[in-house]
Structure 1
């Protein structure tokens, strides 16, 4: 049965187009490899798909630069010089843009104004006014944010202060805390918790504590007037 001819035209269906491209690319690379081996030829194939993907085949032991150098020798076309000229032209344009930007910056700082005409001066003033307006808006926004942050911190401090006051009032109402004065032979009794548990520390003074001589003797003898009592849970 004779093989039918395929009409050569663009495949509209994108999926079918990609499948055909992949199959024919592989077949083409296979033929190029056979040609390289059978005929000792140097073959280079560069392909770019419709999706901008690059595919290339280079004969073994050959680089792309070598292929381009041999192409230049065979055709007499200087590919690299043309590319260099394009790069030089692009560099020239970029330098011109850089000079214009630097001149504009100096003019905004009040320098290099001699070459400006009246209309250019008016436009420069408008540009500077617009820039100042944007800077002020940004400045006020930053200040507003700082004020809001300061208010939030102040509210947090006030909340902490209220909590501390509540804790202090709760401790005053707790029977394990208190201050007792002039109870019997004790001048004062202070209740507080420590690492061991709630205790009472009492300062004991003898009845004749007003006599300086007795007080000095007691201090010299090492007698302790500090007495502690455990609180009941």
Structure 2
């Protein structure tokens, strides 16, 4: 059965369009290679897909530049002058931008101010004040963060110190009353740690609530 003729128009479906482009590009490059081998021809094909992806074929015996140079010589058309002029224009624009940025940097360092009028000086002053405010705000945030960190470390140190004191109290209580001479089951006695000449002692006292009336 013969294949139906395809109507030549833009394929609206993106997926179908990409598939068709890929298949026909492969076929075109294959024909170009056959033409190069069979006829010793110099062939160059440059293609851009709808997604701006570059594909090219060039005969193995020549480079793209050599082929363009040969075309330029044969057709007497200058292919590079317009490209060169565009590059010169772009280079000039980049130099102007670079010079402007360098001038702004010098002005922000307090240099090259003689050419500025009053309005420009006022604008520069406002920009510098805004920049200083941003820097100062950032500095204060950093300082605040450092203070919060030190406070947290201090609180942790106090908690550790309290735990160590409690452990020391329990240890000393056991050492001072190893035989359980003080019976405090009813909670009538209070205790405290006393230090004398570097030595700690545990004292048991009768609380006021248990004193005789």
- TM-score, normalized by length of structure 2? 0.73
Q: For residue 57 of structure 1, give the secondary structure of its aligned residue in structure 2.
A: strand
Q: In structure 2, list runs of 5 or more residues that go unmatched.
A: 179-213
Are 1:28 and 2:28 counterparts? Answer: yes
Q: Deviation per CA, 1:153-207, whole angstroms, max 9, x where unpaired? A: 22222232223223323332445x98xxxxxxxxxxxxxxxxxxxxxxxxxxxxx
Report the counterpart of residue 187 of structure 1 in structure 2.
Answer: none
After TM superposition, the structure 1 stretch with the greater mean CA deviation from structure 2, 30-39 or 119-128, is 119-128
Report the counterpart of residue 11 of structure 2 in structure 1.
Answer: 11
Q: 1:174 to 1:75 in 2, by over 3 A?
A: farther
Q: 1:168 to 1:93 in 2, by over 3 A?
A: same
Q: Deviation per CA, 1:113-153, whole angstroms, max 9, x where unpaired? A: 22222221221222122112211111111111111121122
Report the counterpart of residue 70 of structure 1 in structure 2.
Answer: 70
- TM-score, normalized by length of structure 1? 0.67
Report the counterpart of residue 111 of structure 1 in structure 2.
Answer: 111
Which whole-Å CA distance do the structure 2 matches of 1:174 and 1:52 have between them?
Answer: 86
Larger radius of gyration: 1
Q: Deviation per CA, 1:61-116, whole angstroms, max 9, x where unpaired? A: 33223223322322333434443332232222122112212222222233222222
Q: For residue 41 of structure 2, give the secondary structure of its aligned residue in structure 1.
A: coil
Q: For residue 45 of structure 2, give the secondary structure of its aligned residue in structure 1.
A: strand
Are 1:139 and 2:139 counterparts? Answer: yes
Report the counterpart of residue 170 of structure 1 in structure 2.
Answer: 170
After TM superposition, the structure 1 stretch with the greater mean CA deviation from structure 2, 142-151 or 82-91, is 82-91
Which whole-Å CA distance do the structure 1 matches of 2:174 and 2:70 have between them?
Answer: 100
TM superposition outliers: structure 1 runs of 4+ over 6 Å: none
Report the counterpart of residue 129 of structure 1 in structure 2.
Answer: 129
Q: For residue 79 of structure 1, give the secondary structure of its aligned residue in structure 2.
A: coil
Preserved CA contact (<8 Å) 2:42 2:61: no
Q: In structure 1, list runs of 5 or more residues that go unmatched.
A: 179-233
Report the counterpart of residue 99 of structure 1 in structure 2.
Answer: 99
Which whole-Å CA distance do the structure 1 matches of 2:56 and 2:77 have between them?
Answer: 22
Q: 1:156 to 1:31 in 2, by over 3 A?
A: same
